[in-house]
Amino acid sequence: MNITIYDVAREANVSMATVSRVVNGNPNVKPATRKKVLETIERLGYRPNAVARGLASKKTTTVGVIIPDISSIFFSELARGIDDIANMYKYNIILSNSDQNIDKEIKLINSMLEKQVDGIVYMGGKITEEHINQFKTSPVPIVLAATVDASEKTPSVNIDYEQAAFEAVQLLLDNGNESVAFVTGLEETTANALKFEGYKRALKDAEKSVQDDYLIRGDLSYQSGIKAVETLLDLNERPSAIFVASDEIALGVIHGIQDRGLSVPNDIEVVGFDNTRLAQMVRPTLSTVVQPMYDIGAVAMRLLTKYMNKEEVSDNTVVLPHQIIERNSTK
């Protein structure tokens, strides 16, 4: 049997209420008593049972984190930001991978709710009606991180994907490129749809038309970048620049170009998205849109703590600043 608060109380000749008070740092305890209790806690090796505490207090100091894939370099950076802030506020994290599968996402939310998490940080792709419904009926606050809810009903932390993409493509256009292709991941994620909007707006601003064959959709992998480039280079008129929806795909694009004997940026310029560590781990180094992943995670978690404490929050949807960093994959 484990040592309980009751054992400590008996050994210290006080009531369990008093032990509870010293464990929880309640000031209404005479210093001498506190000392005595602390000593017997030490002596017995008492370890408070957080489950019992959770049942009695209705707080678990645990938050759920739903993430598409923790092994993705992009999401793991977000997760780090979340965990660091969670830690700072004494929360633990229950982490689960969803693979962006809707059924799994809904199941995960419910499973975390059963575990009585005090809040949830949610990362995903497309937010459907079903999601919004879940979020709305949740007994605890939910914050979206790097995930956009088009209806803006759910608190969230993002950057302005449309504008960021617009600026990236504009840079390419300003560099004198006649044609800019767009290589993206799963079309279903709202963030990627917004990037596409920005791409189109930049072209329209430059009075260029959107060409279907300059638009390539694959998955989010390095390999799909290589494949995309093969398609693009087989075109009669190959593009002189490529805007890519993620750094990992962009590395594939760069290598795909180089494998064909062409040069980046002389023959083709490339701009990525995210500014993961990968952007600097390639030659030429990758020009890319800076998305502050760690900060998005950290801010989302911080925002969640406010909701959990029932503090007033002035703005539900926070938009963090982005920027374009020019390295050597552009002229």
Q: How many CB atoms lie within 10 A of CB 186?
A: 14
Residues 1-20 that bind DNA (CB under 7 A): 1-2, 4-6, 13-18, 20
140 makes contact with a copy of itself (CB under 8 A): no
Rounded CA gap, 34 and 28, in Å?
10
Number of chain residues interacting with a copy of itself (CB under 8 A):
51
25 makes contact with a copy of itself (CB under 8 A): no
1 binds, among DNA, a copy of itself, none (CB under 5 to 8 A by kind): DNA
Site string for a copy of itself, 80-109 (x = CB under 8 A): x--xx--x----xxxxxx------------
- Is residue 265 within 8 A of residue 254, CB to CB? The reply is no
- Is residue 254 within 8 A of residue 267, CB to CB? The reply is no
Q: Is the dihedral of CA 115, 121, 124, 130 positive or negative?
A: positive
Return the residue of 28, 71, 236, 314 that touches a copy of itself, per CB under 8 A: 71
Rounded CA gap, 208 and 197, in Å?
14
Site string for DNA, 26-55 (x = CB under 7 A): -xxxx-xxx-----------x-xx--xx-x
47 makes contact with a copy of itself (CB under 8 A): yes
Q: At what angle do helices 190-205 and 161-174 cross, to 10 degrees?
A: 40
Rounded CA gap, 268 and 254, in Å?
9
184 beta partners: 217
Using DSSP bridges, classify how beta strands 287-290 and 323-325 pair: parallel, antiparallel or unpaired.
Answer: antiparallel
**Closer to DNA by Cβ: residue 3 or 206:** 3
139 makes contact with DNA (CB under 7 A): no
**Closer to a copy of itself by Cβ: residue 194 or 282:** 282
**Closer to DNA by Cβ: residue 33 or 328:** 33
Least separation in angstroms between residue 130's CB and DNA is 24
260 makes contact with a copy of itself (CB under 8 A): no
Rounded CA gap, 258 and 230, in Å?
11
- Is residue 242 within 8 A of residue 213, CB to CB? The reply is no
What are the residues binding DNA (CB under 7 A)?
1-2, 4-6, 13-18, 20-21, 23-24, 27-30, 32-34, 46, 48-49, 52-53, 55-58
